[in-house]
Structure 1
Amino acid sequence: MLARGQNVPTIEQAADFVERRRPEVATLLISRSVLLGSADNFLKSFPGGTLYAVKANPHPEVLACLGASEIAGFDVASIEEAESVRTVCSSKPLHYSHPVKATASIRDAYKIGIRHYVVDSEVELDKILACVSRPLSIAVRLKTPEKSGTYDFNTKFGLHPAESVPLIKRIIDAKVEWGLTFHVGSQCKHPKAFSAAIHVCHSVIENLGKMPGYLNVGGGFPVAYGQERSDLTAYFVEIKAACSRMPRVPLLCEPGRALVAESGTLVVQVIGRADDRVFLSDGVFGSFGEVNYSKIQMTPYHLTRASAVPSLAESEFRVFGPTCDSFDELDQRLLLPATIKEGDWLIFPMMGAYSNALASRFNGFRLPSVELID
């Protein structure tokens, strides 16, 4: 039941884990080798510096592993994320990329060494300039021309190009390094969304007649769930081509999902079955929190209690999590062995991003465990 492109060695490691441990609690297995491989492939292809977006998976082992890689730094959205990074990696810079921050958080950020910030309003700029000493770097976040990802961040953050110019001039007058940034949206479907956004940045630069210290093209680099391996070549080609049409400026990006998704394999146990309903030890309030909203296609691999050989006869099932809430249901039917029963396990590949990061203890159920498998 493996889809093309799924990491077979990782599936085999997960199957071995089940045979040895017989886990009753959902467990996210992180492959260090796959994580480093994904990061290395991305770093070799992107024409600039790469910041890991901690929100995708903030587990200490993931942060430590990436901190030891060649990434340029970390993109954080809270003091808590920043402190998590600093417990395992003290050497690489942190970029506080959330455009809205509490004044107390800005003060705390500066105390722990953060010098890179993002704003999209005069109010936010006032707070930073009042709280933070130089040297300092501030990027202005722009809206992207159109929605192209699963999540449309334009509804919450960003300035239109004309609105950004007065703000940038204030940053320049304050003798602070300035940059431009945007985010095309998570799981961006169209490579040209990046070139369109870069063109907007170019227009702002031409309007100002001054060069920024850097251009951060954000995240949104997609992964192919349940399909062939993700190929970001078209995205990198589009970014390079767009940047070639403007004066040279240092580039940054902040991927999360693209670095960690493939490294995570989720093991869950079947805790009940009734007709075409299957109940799992993890659900929407746990590791599957993003699955419904992002329309992620799940392709699990089945293990019985007695054997690692999956059943050949299959049926479609409704799949529920363990809680008492009817919302705790995947919005897609899964093709599973017709003989599936309580005590069996399902292995879900490509679960390294936005799984443990979103999990809650709703109804008192335990959080999924996280373990490294190599």
Structure 2
Amino acid sequence: RGQRAHLLQLADAGTPRYVYHLPTVRARARALAAIKPIDQRYYAIKANSHPAILQLLEAEGFGLECVSHGELKHVFQHLPELSPKRVLFTPSFCPRSDYEAAFALGVTVTVDNVEALQRWPDLFRNRELWLRVDLGRGEGHHAKVRTGGKDSKFGLPIARVDEFVRAATDLGSRVVGLHAHLGSGVETAQHWRLMCDELAGFARRIGSVHTIDIGGGLPIPYSAEDEPFDLDAWAEGLAEVKALHPAFRLAIEPGRYLVAESGVLLSHATQVVEKDGVRRVGLDAGMNTLMRPALYDAWHDIENLSRQGGYAEAAFDVVGPICESSDVFGKRRKLPVSTAPDDVMLIADAGAYGYVMSNTYNQRAMPREDVIE
């Protein structure tokens, strides 16, 4: 709301448009940097790979976590002086060429299956590796973001850890990092404490591990009713775990927490219609612009930026122009009764998994991006 005039000006230059507020990113980064038990902080760039955000977070002391060769190239294109030691590569079912590129760059490489070592022994010979394990369960705000358990494609089953270590040892390689990430939007602080205990047990068994990576998944309050994540309670739990397992460095790799609240999606209303008692406002943004509501049933607050304060309200479904029934941003949302075509509409908390997941379905143009310093 404090940036309303600026946002309206940006919207006049064309929508749909993502806008990122860099001071918010900086504030989230410093809040995490203040948590002393954490030794290494990576930013998961899949959440938002805008160059200004990468440069800001690198300057705030964060390393960068990538999941593809494309992301690696993007990082070094925009941060050519970045040390490879500050880059973590955590792929899933990637081709051999991605691993080859990562090793050539000198970044830290994570593996999550024995089969890769068995198929490409020459590639993984005499390496220091991080191992991603599946602790046997998934957690998170939606089934499609739970990344642990039998139904998930991620992670080595814990029953095969010894097999992986033997295969690595036979190749002259060592497991020096141990990683688990069970899902996104996890709200219980004890989740990470339990993960630390479990990973520490496996790390001792392996014998060569110096770093435990507990992933990301920190939640943000997407609606006014949501409670902000209690960072203090989280930090206290991590401090207790660190005291129990002082031999290991502790790493995290959040994405959403750092950038989601920094971003909004601006759009213009195209049509306002009534059908069988249901009011609908259509936008020039659609599920191709912001996939999360269609993909995860995700909630985003929606406001009429052109009409703020003092307006009588009614319930509207907010929809886009894509030829799919799932092209809905929100149902029965309270908006001014007077909402009209050409009003500027704002979708909140869109700084994570917004632009990076957008596409040209229906041959719609990609959205624009801007930053506010």
CA distance in 1, matches of 2:205, 2:114: 19
Distance 1:338 1:367 in 2: 30
SS in structure 2 at match of 1:357: helix
Q: CA deviation at 1:365?
A: 1.4
Could you say which residue in structure 2 is the equivalent of 1:296?
298
Counterparts of 1:130-141 in structure 2, within 5 Å, are 130-131=122-123, 136-141=127-132
1:105 aligned partner: 98
- Offset of residue 197 of structure 1: 1.9
Contact persistence 2:214–2:252 (CA under 8 A) = yes
What do the CA deviations read for 1:213-246 (whole angstroms, capped 9, x no partner)?
2111111111111235443333332233233323
How far is the alpha carbon of 1:31 from its aligned partner? 1.4
Identify the match of residue 168 of structure 2 among 166, 171, 187: 171
Change (3 A) 1:324 1:175: closer
Moved more, 249-258 or 149-158: 149-158
Conservation of the 8 A alpha-carbon contact between 2:90 and 2:109? yes
1:223 aligns with 2:220: yes
For 2:79, the equivalent position in structure 1 comes to 89
Q: Give the corresponding residue for 2:147.
A: 153
Task: Give, in whole Å, the separation in 1 of the partners of 2:94 and 2:14.
Answer: 40
Which residue of the partner structure matches residue 16 of structure 2? 26
Deviations 1:273-323 (A, max 9, x none): 102011111122212x1134444332223233xxx5445211111111122
**Structure 2 residue corresponding to 1:197, chosen from 179, 195, 198:** 195
Displacement of 1:95 in angstroms is: 1.1
Give the AA of the match of 1:352. G
User: Corresponding residue for 1:118?
Assistant: 110
Partner of 2:71: helix, strand, or coil?
helix
Secondary structure in 1 aligned to 2:200?
helix
Do structure 1's residue 274 and structure 2's residue 273 form an aligned pair? yes
Amino acid at match of 1:101: C
1:254 aligns to what? 253
Aligned to 2:34, which of 39, 44, 53? 44
Cα distance in structure 1, aligned partners of 2:178 and 2:334: 45
Of the structure 1 ranges 147-156 and 50-59, higher mean CA displacement relative to structure 2 is found in: 147-156
| Structure 1 counterpart SS, 2:18 | strand
For the residues of structure 2 that align with 1:62 and 1:169, how far apart are their CA atoms?
A: 40
Give the 3-state SS of the residue equivalent to 1:205 in structure 2: helix
Contact between 1:215 and 1:250, CA under 8 Å: does it hold in 2?
yes
Q: Decide whether aligned partners of structure 1 residues 255 and 206 sit closer, same or farther in structure 2, where only a CA change above 3 A counts.
A: same
| Greater mean alpha carbon deviation, residues 100-109 or residues 76-85 | 100-109
Distance of aligned partners of 1:20 and 1:372 in 2 relative to their CA distance in 1, 3 Å threshold: closer
Inter-CA distance 96–20: structure 2 relative to 1 (3 Å threshold): closer
Higher share in strand: 2
Structural mapping, 1:33-72, within 5 Å = 33-45=23-35, 47-71=38-62
Does 1:312 pair with 2:311? yes
Q: Is the CA contact 1:220–1:255 (under 8 Å) kept in the aligned structure 2? A: yes
Task: State how 1:183-194 maps to structure 2 within 5 Å.
Answer: 183-194=181-192
Q: 1:123 is matched by which residue type in structure 2?
A: E
Letter in 2 for 1:109: A
> For this pair of structures, how many residues does the alignment match?
356
Change (3 A) 1:166 1:265: same
Deviates more, 1:173-182 or 1:272-281: 173-182
Contact 2:11–2:267, Cα closer than 8 Å, also in 1: no
Query: 1:7 — aligned with what?
Result: none
The answer to whether the Cα contact below 8 Å between 1:313 and 1:337 also exists between their aligned partners in 2 is yes
Residues 283 and 15 (structure 1), Cα distance of their counterparts in 2 relative to 1, 3 Å cut: farther
List alignment gaps of at least 5 residues for structure 1.
1-10
Aligned equivalents of 1:251 and 1:342: distance in 2? 51
Identity among equivalent pairs (%) = 23
Deviation at 1:199, TM superposition (A): 2.2
Indicate conservation of the 8 Å contact 2:129/2:173, yes or no: no
Question: Which residue identity is paired with 1:185?
Answer: G
User: Would you say the 8 A contact 1:266–1:348 is kept in 2?
Assistant: yes
When the two chains are superposed, the root-mean-square deviation of aligned CA atoms in Å is 2.2
Aligned to 1:359: 358
**Shift in Å at residue 157 of structure 1?**
1.3
Q: Once the two structures are superposed, what CA deviation does each residue of 1:180-232 show, in whole Å capped at 9, x if it has no partner?
A: 10002011122222122222213323444x25121111111111112354433
Q: C-alpha separation between the residues in 2 aligned to 1:20 and 1:163?
A: 53
Describe the superposition over 1:11-56 as per-residue Cα deviations: whole angstroms up to 9, x where unpaired: 3324323146514421111112211121111111262211110100
Deviation track 1:92-146 (CA, whole Å, cap 9, x = no partner) reads 32211124321111112222332x1112221223456522575x43111111353
SS across alignment from 2:338: coil
Q: Distance in 2 between matches of 1:263 and 1:331?
A: 20
What does residue 345 of structure 1 align with? 344
